Structure 1
Amino acid sequence: MQHAGACRHTQLPGAPDRLPSEIAGTPWLHEPVLVQDAADHEVTATASRRLRRAHDFLAAAHFMVGSGFHPDAGPTTLRLAAVFAARMHRSKDGHLPLSADATARQLRLSRRAVYRHARVLRELGLLAYVEHGSKRNAMRTRHGDAWTREHGYRGTATIFAAVAPPVWDRAMGRTTTGKGYTARVTGVTDSGRRHATAAAIERRRQQPSPQRRTPVDNTRPCTPSVMPPQPPTTEPVRGEGKDSAPRERAMPSPTRLQRPKRPKRPTDWTAHQTAHAMSQARSVQLHTWWTQGFCLRQLAYALRPLLAAGWTAQEITRELSRWTVRQRPRHAAAYLTAEIRRRTRTGHLHLPDGLTAPRRRPPVSTGDEGDTPHGPRYAAMQARKAATYRPAAARARTHLADVRRQLAARRAADVLIPGPARSALADARPENVLLTCAEITRLLERTSAPTQEVARRQKLVAKAERLR
């Protein structure tokens, strides 16, 4: 457990170096401000007001932790507060979800540490419960009686609301109207105005300054707004914009194949139909979790086959909810286009013919184009392989030829070694396998002149006779 005094020296990027003198000297700074009662951690019973901006939540967290109100607050508490602040932009009310496993992996902590520091933030008056998490399937609650196994399982997450305790508002010189979560800031004192100005300057200083891509041209005699009018020119505009000069295009590399560009074709959709498609896509995006946050125009273009077939936003949302999308796709419009084409081809989605574009396939050579038997692409590939591998293959063939000549000369110089002697049992047949010693002796006598092998076998036979 950390000491309360140690928390006053906890620093993270963006935190003030020390508390202002007028704040440190206030008598209410050391009053008990911790929210110990669990019933006061709910959004309906909290004394803290709602926060919607991440930098306000981080400023309140730095102040409450740095003031030493809680003995367990420390750098890990501020790291968890920074993670929560990064999730506030997903809700217009500043609500943020808590996933213990994901947060623990992100901060490299244990689940117990995440829960402990979340409790510290609640007791400091910086978080309030909007909804308690449970193991209940949120997909079953969303779809009701229409739920099937294809919808899958998703547990109910804990939803927190980012709030600001009253002690922080008094320290920053803010006056509020109302009580609890719905309280509003109505004014600031002189010290609060100084704090707000200093905080804005600090945020501005931490933001990277945008750099100009093109330097300012100061060689002109006067600004373009006071330039004298020029006589009109009669030169035609050659395919360029009226305010842009023609640019020289780089010549394509002769070694690189140039793919033919696909010609642009009209979509036959009017402006009214496009606006209606975007409104329908907006409704689908609000009710489908894995499409949120993507470009609305691209999403409406991907849903055109369904909209052209007469589907409404409710029908499209119901169809997309049947798809088993386990993780958020990187590009929702591309995934929709590919999945609609696949389901139409496999028969899972019934649409009129001609609404889905066929899959783009690379051009296949027919063999009768150009002067090569397999087409220009095959000839280019063979030429590239020949330029890369043929020199090495020629060197390998030359080296192997030299090795073969050396081996042939060595074999001609060496004396041939006689091979093993031919067996003297010339009359041995499969039917003469079981022979007596006398029969073996007679067979050996009828054979040609005895060799070393025959002599050895005779010795073996004689030894066998003596043993018998």
Structure 2
Amino acid sequence: MPRPEQEATTTASRRAQPRAWLRAVRWLVAASLHPRATATTLRIAADLARRMDYLEGTVLYDMLGTAARLEVSVPTVKRHVRVLRELGALVWLEHGTRKNLRLPGRAYTGTATVYGATIPPCFDVAMGHRLDGSGYAARVAGVTEAGRGRAIAETRRAAASRGRGLEPPSPSGYFNVGKAEVGGGLKDTPSAACSTASSSKKTTTGRQRGRWTGRPALQVARDISIVRQIRPRVAWTQHEGLRRLAFALRPLIDTGLDAESIVVELHSWFLDWRPARPAAFITAELRRRQRRDADLPAMGAPVAGGPTPVVAPQDSPAWREYCQRQHAMAAMHTLVASARERTDEERRNARLAALHAPHLVLDHIAEHGEDDALDLYGTWLVARYVGQAASSTIRLGGPVS
């Protein structure tokens, strides 16, 4: 890739997540597409992948830190990052500069270089991928017949390599049972008989202790498929197992919420820390909220010890007037948005810009309303930045001048 095509706005490569990106980099180096690509290139790529954003594949350059972690020189890091860019595996999202931003309380603050992980078209052609779109915003939409055959062959080779060195299965699954004697007892030794009885008793006891939860296997599989969409989008749950998360989120799943709604619910908790055991934390938090809702008095019911009952909001004239104003404002926003329909390209560019400038989402909500922001930026970005803005420890400011 020549230098003009190493930008996110001009590249022919598509955006990738860390795991898929690292597999593509290994293939590019093994295919000898660049004369300077070596094992050191793979080491630097692995360091970048460990620090990448899980969803967007963005990463800070951290040239000095990479050199210290890998125990190589700074020119070596520069050289191999350049190799990755020329392979089409990295693109610039932001160019760093040594110009002092002159932030309050800091003697010197420069601008960091931000890279985006990408996969070049030659890899997709070799793998038989069919793409939807072009450039940085393209995504894999399917595979060709050749790609499907290649994937099947690789799966069979991997299964065959895992099966080497294992003993063949026994020809029969029956246990050897001793012959009965006329005088009673078994021909086997007493210890063997006790061992058989003990193992049978343990198995029965294990089944009686509640290993079976009563949830059908298809429902458990559906729960796990929902959680598989939730976990990458909620940062503090990413180090928890899928089955534990599925079990903890059952109360929300059983109410009919889909993955998108559960993600919004978890973001609305505004966590600015990472629980050591996310599944246990979710279970405790849901129980706490259930107890809190049960302790609240019913709307309009007399409060114990209170002189007057609680008045329902819908019976207040001020509340009805407020609702009418809100409906009028929503109708106005709908008319303004319908006057000019947005294109998918405009949405992609806006969401890409909002990843590095959260204040754009908050300013758009304040100016045009939440519905219009959801249409432009999507549910995930709006829920994420609104939650962070409401947190007591996170402040989302505007761009630094």
Output the TM-score relative to the length of structure 1: 0.36
Structure with more helix by fraction: 2
Q: Which has the larger radius of gyration?
A: 1
Output the TM-score relative to the length of structure 2: 0.42
